[in-house]
Structure 1
Amino acid sequence: MTPALMGDDGVAAGAAGRSLHDTAVLNGDAACVAQARRRAAGFLDLARAEHGVPVSRRACDLLQLVVSELVTNACKYAGGPIRLDLRIASGLVEVAVRDGNPALPVVGTADASRVGRHGLEIVSAVCRSFEAVAEAAGKRLTARLPLTEGAAA
């Protein structure tokens, strides 16, 4: 699976005023979390190299962490198929993960004595925004991260 940057109109991205995006469908097997992380890193690498988008090392690391947490939960609680959408616009990278389980997750409160189930706490702590929305055939989890430390709110 090689990332491909596309504009909002489905043609090659990079022209002024267009966001950059990429979509992948994952089958929900044991390898899909690593696939999703590689896809996210490749997406930012292409945005930087081919379109001159400023991307910090921290943004790349955090995006891979967020993608890993969201896709892991989708694999664990919904199975496949899982849709991963990545989009860059207005100094942010947006990751959306869609799966077929309609149950919306709840971000837990911090509890150092709890073993596991901290993924969404981590996601909400490192992201500019996080939301979970019910859809006709499941749910969509969306997180937004700044591409650089100085990105606009």
Structure 2
Amino acid sequence: MIVHSSEEEEEGHQPLQGTSPQSAGRARNVTRGFLSAVAARAGAETDAVLLVVSELVTNAVRHAGGVTRLHLAAGPGTVTVSVEDASTTAPRPRQTDAARPGGFGWHLVQELSADVRVSIGPRGKTVSAVLPLSH
């Protein structure tokens, strides 16, 4: 299930729902729709949000068997991206090598985000990243 959250949801509006994205491309499309709904201005901030979504979804698909939930929430001057999966293993940085693909995503997520948190529970984990976003 994909849940989009915004300040309107707190006022009683129902969240938008759909199927869980199992590709970074689908997750980016969903995120673009969310960003346009919260009136985010296109630019470097929205590009950073899309990149973080891509990396978190790709990591969940590649290392944790897939995404179980994507949650997007707009706050004052921020957007929070949360990706849930069924693995209880926390992400860890890999040694990067310019000659080999991969290993850069977790570093990018941490660099682009104001805050990154990993919550592990009995059914999997949630990785949440808070990014600045002008509305």
TM-score norm. by structure 2 comes to 0.81
Return the alpha-carbon distance in structure 2 between the equivalents of residues 65 and 37 of structure 1.
Answer: 8
Aligned residues: 131
Choose the corresponding residue for 1:38, options 5, 9, 29.
29
- CA deviation after TM superposition for structure 1 residue 143, in Å: 0.4
What amino acid does structure 1 have at the position aligned with 2:31?
A
3-state SS in 2 of match to 1:63: helix
- Structure 1 letter corresponding to 2:26: Q
* C-alpha spacing 1:80/1:113, structure 2 compared with 1 (3 Å): closer
Instruction: Tell me the equivalent position of 1:94.
Output: 80
Give the Cα separation in 1 of the matches to 2:21 and 2:47: 24
Query: Equivalent residues in 2 for 1:83-122 (5 A)?
Result: 83-108=69-94, 111-113=96-98, 115=100, 116-122=102-108
Is 1:133 aligned to 2:127, yes or no?
no
Decide whether the 8 Å contact of 1:22 with 1:85 is kept in 2: no
Unaligned runs of 5+ in 2: none
1:26 and 2:12 aligned: no
The CA deviation at 1:105 is 0.8
Runs (4+) of structure 1 moved beyond 6 Å?
none
CA deviation after TM superposition for structure 1 residue 23, in Å: 5.7
Give, in whole Å, the separation in 2 of the partners of 1:22 and 1:57: 24
